Structure 1
Amino acid sequence: MEIIEKSKKTSIMKAIRQHEFGGPSVLQYEDAPVPEVKLGEVLVKVHAIGMNPPDWYLRDGYKSLPKEWQPEGSFPIILGTDISGIVERVADDVKDFSIGDEVYGMVRFPEGVFGESKAYAEYVSVPASQIALKPERIDHIHAAAAPMSLLTAWQFMIDLGHNVQNPLQPNKHEPVALEGKTVLVNGAGGGVGHFAVQIAKWKGARVIAVASGKQEAFLRDLGADEFIDYTKTHAHEIISGVDLVIDSVGGPTTGRFLHTLKPGGALFPIFPLGFDGTDEAKKLGVIVSATQVRSNGAQLAEVARLLNDGTLQIAIDSIFSLADAQKAHQRAALGHIQGKIVLKVI
């Protein structure tokens, strides 16, 4: 009887849903059914949700992607991937997690891109393989801010963690050795960027951080050896001989960093769409490579140790309630985000 009552109590939840593509105003705080738990899954009572660029890309309908790549699906949809919370239910075949466990994860990305991940909600069902125990040292707000940004930096720089081929390039993405190297991180103050700075320093690299001037102290505290204020100086005009560029901004202008690299160096654009400098890269003898971040609970368990011992710090730009998701997306649209924006549920 107790189980039945519990099930009734959690049959309806609050969620942010949208019934059409558009700006922040399409995000509606409303009732939605609690997702069912299938084999291999757990139900998480969400405490916090980390926001990422794919959230607003999907909200708008992924207009930046070629038409043939734009996801198809049906409304209403629920955005989001990154969560931290407490396990509420466990499928019979799940052995690694129990009710009451504090967990964090990136849910169904990219395979659930058209709203199947359902992170902007009070409850989320998630494959057990995509979550890990939350680092004990940090709270749910900080844990929710980590998964996509940290996994992106990790899979680009340390361990790819999957064998899915990037359709934009003929070769498999391979991280490069960092110890003793010089690494330039463009967009260093953002979600992926501030983790890239820390990972490079952890691995023994000299780090040049490129961001707006107000972020200099923040990035030097994270370990940046040199700082360039892009509002005053163009890094690609004054820097040369770099081993690796992590361009967390990416896009059509990422090719400007090709000439900052030494022969044999590498440019990793986090957002590679629009890059058209393949021939120039070959002439210069440098590598341009990218990958698509993918959910990976085992990697989150690995980086949890670095979050627990303070090797990696998580910066929070701002916190909004779940009901204020529209305001959170308006904040994101302003840009110059330092770290991550988080939605607080509990």
Structure 2
Amino acid sequence: MKMRAVSQSVFGGPEVLEMVEVDRPAPGAGEVLVKVHAVAVNPADWKLRSGLIPRLGQPPFTLGCDVSGVVEATGPGAEKFEAGDEVFGMLLSRAGAYAEYVVLAQDSLARKPKSFDHVHAAALPVAALTAWQGLAKLRSGERVLIHAAAGGVGHLAVQFARERGATVIGTARAIKHDFLRGLGADELIDYTTEDFTAIEPVDLVLDLVGGDVADRSIKLIKPGGTFVDALGSEHLAGEPGYFRLFVESNGDELAKIAELVDAGTVKVHVERVLPLDEVAEAHRLVESGRTTGKIVLTV
């Protein structure tokens, strides 16, 4: 059977993305075939598309790691879900979610939050797991600095940190401060006009920016504190408190996040929804670095 998918034959700008017809995948042992309803676009997607990150090898390939949809079929030994279940999850080692159907390991999936539609569920996995795992060492009463706090990962990290009882400090443009206060941020810094290094030392920094921001931020952690590098500032490895975060697909953690969502503790902001045919425009928006929350494609 055939299906539609977005592919690219060369590295390049958003214009290299094209709709093609390919064979529908079949689930193997421990895998689940999902009929895709929505897929989020992440910053890593445009970096993979352009060749900046060579993780998928040479084209052709199909991008997309975040997915929400309905179980179509299960492979041998895949007993956690059955046909008709609404699920969401993250493809880690391989992409491929910009398509009508996708195969995922059952352990990378969780049941979709009941209170979310597929669009908002698709916005969660990569961003939520990055925030969740990046804040793993954060404890109640501690102070955390979250860079790019209004972005896809950042605005979820603000809510997770608040839920854990931490004092939340975020950097973002002033126009986004009201949005972040509404999510529970305690202190906000406009990085275009203010020096974030003037704050008191913090227990944890979640760096979602890199570059010079990382170099200055690692000096802000208290003795015994943690600097979480989510961008790849490996030149800081060896500095006290440095931790390189590599997000891992985890269905159990997604299930816990879904519980927080259904309890009303956590929400995800979707800035724009586009059909899969407009994937190039979605990439342009994400690549601009100016989006608040997430961009989602409907399939």
Q: Which TM-score tier does this pair reach, normalised by the shorter chain?
A: over 0.9
Out of 97, 122, 125, which is 2:103 matched to? 125
Work out the CA distance in 1 between the residues paired with 2:84 and 2:132: 28
Could you tell me the percent identity over the aligned residues? 42
Q: Structure 1: which amino acid aligns with 2:39?
A: I
User: Does 2:22 align with 1:32?
Assistant: yes
Counterpart of 1:15? 5
Q: CA deviation at 1:185?
A: 0.7
Counterpart of 2:113? 135
Counterpart of 1:276? 235
Task: Map 1:221-236 to 2 at 5 A.
Answer: 221-236=182-197
User: Does 2:253 align with 1:299?
Assistant: yes
User: Does 2:44 align with 1:54?
Assistant: yes
Counterpart of 2:142? 181
Counterpart of 2:180? 219
User: Does 2:72 align with 1:88?
Assistant: yes
Out of 264, 267, 273, which is 1:310 matched to? 264
Work out the CA distance in 1 between the residues paired with 2:194 and 2:55: 38
Work out the CA distance in 2 between the residues paired with 1:25 and 1:231: 31
- Which has the larger Rg? 1
Alignment check: 8 A CA contact 1:182 1:205 kept: yes
Q: TM-score, normalised by structure 1?
A: 0.83
Work out the CA distance in 2 between the residues paired with 1:258 and 1:248: 13
Change (3 A) 1:219 1:106: same
CA displacement 1:71-126 (0-9 Å, x = unmatched): 3645320001100000111123221111100000001x1x22xxxx3100011011
Task: Map 1:85-124 to 2 at 5 A.
Answer: 85-107=69-91, 109=92, 111-112=93-94, 117-124=95-102
CA displacement 1:229-259 (0-9 Å, x = unmatched): 11111212x1122111111112454011133
Out of 337, 340, 345, which is 2:291 matched to? 337
SS of the residue corresponding to residue 59 of structure 1 reads: helix
Work out the CA distance in 2 between the residues paired with 1:43 and 1:243: 42
Work out the CA distance in 1 between the residues paired with 2:155 and 2:56: 33
Change (3 A) 1:246 1:73: closer
How many residues are aligned here? 299
Q: CA deviation at 1:209?
A: 1.1
SS of the residue corresponding to residue 36 of structure 2 reads: strand
CA displacement 1:190-241 (0-9 Å, x = unmatched): 11111111111111111111101111011000000111111111212x1122
Work out the CA distance in 1 between the residues paired with 2:114 and 2:56: 38
Alignment check: 8 A CA contact 1:41 1:127 kept: yes
Gapped runs of 5+ residues in structure 1?
1-10, 64-69, 159-175
Work out the CA distance in 2 between the residues paired with 1:62 and 1:104: 27
Gapped runs of 5+ residues in structure 2?
none
Counterpart of 1:71? 55
Q: Structure 2: which amino acid aligns with 1:103?
A: V
Alignment check: 8 A CA contact 2:169 2:188 kept: yes
Counterpart of 2:167? 206
Q: Structure 2: which amino acid aligns with 1:235?
A: F
